[in-house]
Amino acid sequence: MLTRIDVRGRQEVELAALLPRPAEPGSDVRAAVAAILDRVRREGDAALRALTSELDGVDVAQARVPGREVEAALRRVPGDLRAALELAHRNITAYHAHEAPAPGDYVDDGLRVRHLVRPVDRAGCYAPGGRARYPSSVLMCAAPARVAGVGEVVLCVPPGRDGRVDDATLAAAAVAGVDEVYAVGGAQAVAAMAYGTQSIRPVDVIVGPGNRYVAEAKRQVSGAVGVAAAFAGPSEVVVVAGPETPADYAAVDLAVQAEHGPDGLAWLLTWTPGKAEEVEAALARIVQASPRRADLESTLGSHGYTCLVDDVAQALAVANVVAPEHLELLLDDAEAQLDRVRAAGAVFCGPLSPASLGDYVAGPNHVLPTDRTARFASALRADDFRRHIHAVSVDARALGALAPHVAVLATTEGLPAHAESVRIRTEGPPTSGEPGPGGPGPGAGDGSPR
């Protein structure tokens, strides 16, 4: 089921060329997504209704879910589910509040730079649907938006076959304080949030995981609307297993991410061939018994790998090349290996720390970078819903000390008005006959963009 790769004896510099690489994210759906975005931008709600009928197989006359239905769902769901949603929401909110303090001001001898942090006005959250329901994604997107101080939080989620959003998802929206819920999914939901329609006002930021169509749509609307740097696409996991790792733990954790559906990624890294065989046998048993067998077989058959390495150091070198969404170090000395980790969305340390903790209740966000974007991107955080503005003020003494340096740099760049703006404040207006800021200077008329 897992494709076997052997990199034992290879140098770290060789790994990138030896390991399989995913296709360019979104390349297979780019044209289809562009057509959907354009259709929604031109036709608005009519396109949303038609696309929901064509792609989801259900006619939804009114996309917005009434607020009373959201609150009613919270009362309808089982008590243990409500308790779990509320506990997860508390932990997620607490973690994001802890990681997001506002930076302080910078003060230096009369120069003061204040750091102004302003939330966006309106945030759009996407929660996947169709194959499964993901109330946890609602919490993961809405909670940090609220921590950031966003005024309006809206949610788009694909409707079920009955045209409704399921109660668990609506209950999560109620727990997280979502303002508006829309029964629309896919690339068309991203288009609606980015461009606006007759019933859905555009947002400033779009966040949330989704399939390759959703991820590609976010990529295409980036610029028209803010999108977190991470490509939050199909789920991925790399499991590092040593001789001490229980095979059942490693096997079930490979299945955990693979059961999200096709196009994901599942890697087992080990320096013990016998352990590889134990894990593969345990995984085969899990797949055989799973109600999501088709999804597991699709993911593991196309993007499932067992990679034999020399030791834990080479295992982490391979993991850094893969740059996975989830990295599990199922090792007794897992925390001692963290210095070797350079590229991963989230790391889970030790045999008792499965990625499912992070998916639900640990607190850090489960909206994580995929498709190797962990090389430069991070988990969703409160700061993704904020703008940073600096406000500069000086007193007369500081201006007097800094103005000559401003004038030198401005003159060097051929921008005489820049130099004059500080000179006039320190020396007064020019006397008759002196060139003003519009006078000749090097580079004048060069079309400088500043």
Q: Quick check: is 388 in a domain?
A: no
Q: Quick check: is 128 in a domain?
A: yes
Per-residue pLDDT of the chain (450 residues; tens, 9 = 90+): 899 999 999 999 999 999 997 766 667 789 999 999 999 999 999 999 999 999 999 999 999 999 999 999 999 999 999 999 999 999 999 999 988 677 788 898 899 999 999 999 999 999 998 667 899 999 999 999 999 999 999 999 999 999 999 999 999 999 999 999 999 999 999 999 999 999 999 999 999 988 889 989 999 999 999 997 666 677 899 999 999 999 999 999 999 878 876 678 999 999 999 999 999 999 999 999 999 898 899 889 989 999 999 999 999 999 999 999 999 999 999 999 999 999 999 999 999 999 999 999 999 999 999 889 899 999 999 999 999 999 999 999 999 999 999 999 999 999 999 999 999 999 988 776 555 555 444 444 444 444
Residue 371's pLDDT is what?
A: 86
Same domain, 163 and 177: yes
Q: Quick check: is 214 in a domain?
A: yes
Same domain, 72 and 175: yes
Q: What is the pTM of this model?
A: 0.87
Same domain, 237 and 353: yes
Residue at a domain's end among 196, 229, 262 = 229
Same domain, 244 and 359: yes
Residue 445's pLDDT is what?
A: 45
Same domain, 77 and 132: yes
Q: Quick check: is 30 in a domain?
A: no
Q: Quick check: is 189 in a domain?
A: yes
Q: Which two tokens stand for residue 225?
A: 């609307």
Write out the catalytic residue numbers: 325-326
Residue 435's pLDDT is what?
A: 56
Same domain, 134 and 82: yes
Residue 432's pLDDT is what?
A: 62
Task: Please give the tally of structural domains in the chain.
Answer: 3
Residue 155's pLDDT is what?
A: 98
Strand-by-strand arrangement of the 122-126 sheet? 64-65, 180-183, 152-157, 122-126, 205-207, 226-227
Residue 440's pLDDT is what?
A: 46
Q: Quick check: is 237 in a domain?
A: yes
Same domain, 134 and 200: yes
Question: Between vectors from CA 416 to CA 410 and to CA 420, what angle results, nearest 5°?
Answer: 90
Pairing type for strands 205-207 and 64-65 reads: unpaired
Same domain, 214 and 78: yes
Residue 135's pLDDT is what?
A: 96
Residue found by looking up tokens 């599942």 in the block: 266
Residue at a domain's end among 229, 250, 273 = 229
Write the pLDDT tens digit of every residue in 199-258: 999 999 999 988 889 989 999 999 999 997 666 677 899 999 999 999 999 999 999 878
CATH classification of the domain holding 134: 3.40.50.1980
Residue 430's pLDDT is what?
A: 75
Residue 437's pLDDT is what?
A: 54
Same domain, 361 and 269: yes
Residue at a domain's end among 171, 201, 229 = 229
Same domain, 159 and 72: yes
Closest CA to 177 of 263, 266, 287, 85: 85
Q: Which domain holds residue 424?
A: 395-450
Q: Quick check: is 101 in a domain?
A: yes
Closest CA to 379 of 398, 357, 363, 400: 363
Same domain, 205 and 94: yes
Same domain, 370 and 400: no
Q: Quick check: is 382 in a domain?
A: no
Closest CA to 233 of 217, 246, 250: 217
